[in-house]
């Protein structure tokens, strides 16, 4: 099992790699040339800049049983299709039970944004320490389930 992180502007990269390392699970950070990452405990793969270049590289590398951390619902859908376990930076798990609804909501939001300048939707709120703690607990729980560890 390997943990793959769509690390372009991912706020939980360090948290996830520390938790994966504590479970002795390899972690791979994928980013494009616009984001420079370094890590002493994870492999960092820098992909040439280009629309969806990191997403395509991640999907080409992951395999059944791996864990993918991404905020991109499309990447999550493709990874789920390959048999991966997927998690959002919020700690929400992407599953075959929620991915269709999430993709539909994303499409509806994009349509609303395109339809009128007056339909500007607010961006996400500022990330808090509690958000990081929630992600860490959810990710730890997922890895414990996958490795059979008891908490």
* Residue pLDDT, tens place only, 57-66: 999 999 999 9
Local confidence band at 121 (pLDDT 50, 70, 90 cut-offs): low
Q: Is residue 123 in a domain?
A: no
CA 133 – CA 61 distance, rounded (Å): 28
Number of H-type helices and E-type strands within the chain: 5, 6
Give the CATH number for residue 35: 3.40.50
Q: What is the SS3 assignment for 90?
A: coil
Whole-number pLDDT of residue 35: 83
Give the range of the structural domain holding residue 83, as residue numbers without chain letter.
2-99+129-144
Mean pLDDT of the 93-104 span: 81
Q: Is residue 39 in a domain?
A: yes
Neighbours of 95 (CB within 10 A): 12
Local confidence band at 118 (pLDDT 50, 70, 90 cut-offs): low
Q: How many domains does the chain have?
A: 1
Mean pLDDT of the 133-148 span: 95
Residue 114 has pLDDT above 90, yes or no: no
């Amino acid at each position: 099992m390997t943990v793959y992180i769509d690390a372009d502007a991912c706020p939980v990269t360090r948290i996830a790699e520390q938790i994966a390392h504590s479970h002795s699970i390899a972690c791979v950070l994928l980013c494009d040339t616009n984001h420079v990452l370094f890590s002493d405990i994870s492999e960092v793969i820098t992909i040439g800049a280009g629309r969806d270049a990191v997403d395509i590289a991640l999907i080409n590398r992951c395999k059944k049983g791996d864990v993918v951390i991404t905020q991109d619902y499309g990447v999550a859908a493709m990874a789920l299709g390959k048999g991966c376990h997927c998690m959002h930076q919020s700690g929400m798990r992407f599953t075959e039970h929620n991915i269709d609804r999430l993709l539909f909501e994303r499409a509806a939001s994009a349509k609303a944004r395109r339809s009128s300048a007056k339909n500007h939707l607010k961006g996400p709120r500022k990330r808090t320490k509690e958000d990081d703690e929630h992600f860490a607990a959810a990710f730890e729980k997922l890895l414990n389930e996958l490795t059979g560890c008891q908490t």
